[in-house]
Amino acid sequence: GAGVSQSPSNKVTEKGKDVELRCDPISGHTALYWYRQSLGQGLEFLIYFQGNSAPDKSGLPSDRFSAERTGGSVSTLTIQRTQQEDSAVYLCASSLGTSGIEQYFGPGTRLTVT
């Protein structure tokens, strides 16, 4: 079956604009994660969805960031009023459940804010 897909693969936007990044997890995976990775850096946890539970939003860097997961499947990460420091690769991962089961990563969306 298909792996985790993300769209767009690249996004260039002007400072101040809003952007939406999409993640399609592997079918049947109940857990979905969003991470941010700046050039040459590690992964920064943003948000975690598990089934119908309230998401863990503890990693979102500001209130300009929000995420939704509709129907327990597709997720959208929205960044409002983008800033240059938002430029990074945004990675999505899904897994079968909690307790740190292996995560399957998408290819990421490279966001550039000019």
Each residue 93-112 as x (binds another protein by CB under 8 A) or -, in order, gives: x---xxxx-xxxxxxx----
Q: How many CB atoms lie within 10 A of CB 50?
A: 17
List % helix, strand, coil for the chain (3-state, nearest 5). Answer: 5, 45, 45
Member of 13, 20, 22, 56 binding another protein (CB under 8 A): 56
> What residues contact residue 54 under an 8 Å CB cut-off, 6+ apart?
none
Give the integer Cα–Cα distance in Å for 90 and 47: 12
CA dihedral sign of residues 56, 68, 92, 32: positive
Asked if 7 interacts with another protein (CB under 8 A), we say no
Asked if 60 interacts with another protein (CB under 8 A), we say no
Which residues in 32-51 contact another protein (CB under 8 A)?
Answer: 33, 35, 37, 39, 41-45, 48, 50
Least distance to another protein, CB of residue 109, Å: 10
Give the integer Cα–Cα distance in Å for 43 and 88: 10
Nearer to another protein among residue 35 and residue 113 (C-beta): 35
Nearer to another protein among residue 3 and residue 16 (C-beta): 3
Q: Which residues bind another protein (CB under 8 A)?
A: 4, 31, 33, 35, 37, 39, 41-45, 48, 50, 56, 58, 89, 91, 93, 97-100, 102-108
